[in-house]
Amino acid sequence: DYMVKILFFTHSNKLSGGERSLFDIIRWFNRSMDVSLITPGEGRLSEVIEREGISVYKIPPSPVFNIRRERMGIRDFVNAGELGRIAGFISSIIHREGFNVLYTNSQKAHVIGALVKLRTTHVKLIWHFRDILEGKARLLMNALSFIPDTIISISKAVDRQFLRKTKVVYNAISLPDRIKPVKLPGKFKIGYVGQIARWKGQMNFIRVMEGFKDDGVVGYILGGAIFEEQDYLELLEKTIIEKGLEKKIKILGWRDNVYDYFSGFDLLIHMPEKLEPFGRVIVEAMALGIPVIAHDIGAIKEVVGDAGILVNFKDYDAVRYHVKQLLTDMAFYETLREKGLKRYREVFRIERLIKEVKGIIEG
């Protein structure tokens, strides 16, 4: 009787979007399969996984995990020389504990996973791919992409960067059973949600909010600088003060009970600087019955469908126009709310994701 035993591997022990999606998958599979996680050092992700009673193996810290994603060419990795050591460490755990699936969730984990697969050929390697890459990083991942047994792409936009076929499986979310909306000041509250990072485009939100004067519209930036983007956070704070927007935009920072704050918003705006591989916050907004305005870049159109408002890249005037439209036209607002809820229920429920991924693991 073949027992599936899965070792999940991510190089980041923080709890941003990709890791939250991984957490949902591990937690669901823990009900019916033998699952463990391997990740470097201590962090929020291993904390929440261990709280679920799931084993976590810790990889000793390594400079490999600090190579910036954009810089990940073949040479950077050869020089790091550490890769073989880490791959050997993981291979020995796979042999000792009898894992038959290695499931990688982040780019450096995919690279190391490919090396593990070359040493440990019996293990089924699945890449869950969550990034849209450019330049040498894209070349590297395409070169290695023929090693995994299956690649799961989180959107068609992610799939398009590969030369080989991947399986498109959209992310999903499961809302907590209890959400207690936090009452925030403002007549019409607009949220901008996600880790504070240049590519996430919080500065675009500040540009949009400049156009609202004394109309009860208040903007909230929800999220923390979890990947060494402290200088960008300081720049945002400085810009808000310089433009005299302290009453119009509040930075809420990182919150554990993110949905309690999120559910207090009347609208979500999402305007990332780079190609968006998925846009988890858009799905969260739809699930909470919050309309979405986003600019059309990367996977956003396939995620939003007809359930939100899309504008051209950085078209601040169009965003402001639609905010005012939603402020005054309650029927339109309600239609968008309903469409979002319907789209979430039909496309982005966690049960659908689990079923699709389970089929890939067992297939």
Question: Which of 290, 212, 303 is closest to 17 using CA atoms?
Answer: 303
Are residues 248 and 311 located together in one domain of the fold?
A: yes
Are residues 195 and 319 located together in one domain of the fold?
A: yes
Are residues 164 and 105 located together in one domain of the fold?
A: yes
pLDDT digits (tens, 9 = 90+) for 235-278: 999 999 999 999 999 999 989 889 999 999 999 999 999 999 99
Selection from 10-19, 89-98, 217-226 with the highest mean pLDDT: 89-98
Question: Which of 186, 90, 68, 170 is closest to 129 using CA atoms?
Answer: 170
CATH number of domain containing 143: 3.40.50.2000
Local structure of residue 308 (DSSP, 8 states): S
Are residues 221 and 168 located together in one domain of the fold?
A: no
Q: Classify residue 180: in a domain, yes or no.
A: no
Are residues 18 and 101 located together in one domain of the fold?
A: yes
Q: Which residues pair with 22 in a beta bridge?
A: none
Give this prediction's pTM. 0.93
pLDDT digits (tens, 9 = 90+) for 177-186: 999 999 999 9
10: tokens are 């991510």
Handedness of CA 119, 121, 122, 124 (dihedral sign): positive
Q: Classify residue 179: in a domain, yes or no.
A: no
Q: What is the pLDDT of residue 318?
A: 98
Q: What is the pLDDT of residue 15?
A: 80
What is the residue range of 294's domain?
188-347
Are residues 12 and 111 located together in one domain of the fold?
A: yes
- Our count of domains for the chain comes to 2
Are residues 337 and 357 located together in one domain of the fold?
A: no
Q: If you average pLDDT over residues 297-324, what whole number do you get?
A: 97
Are residues 164 and 264 located together in one domain of the fold?
A: no
Are residues 221 and 200 located together in one domain of the fold?
A: yes
Are residues 143 and 77 located together in one domain of the fold?
A: yes
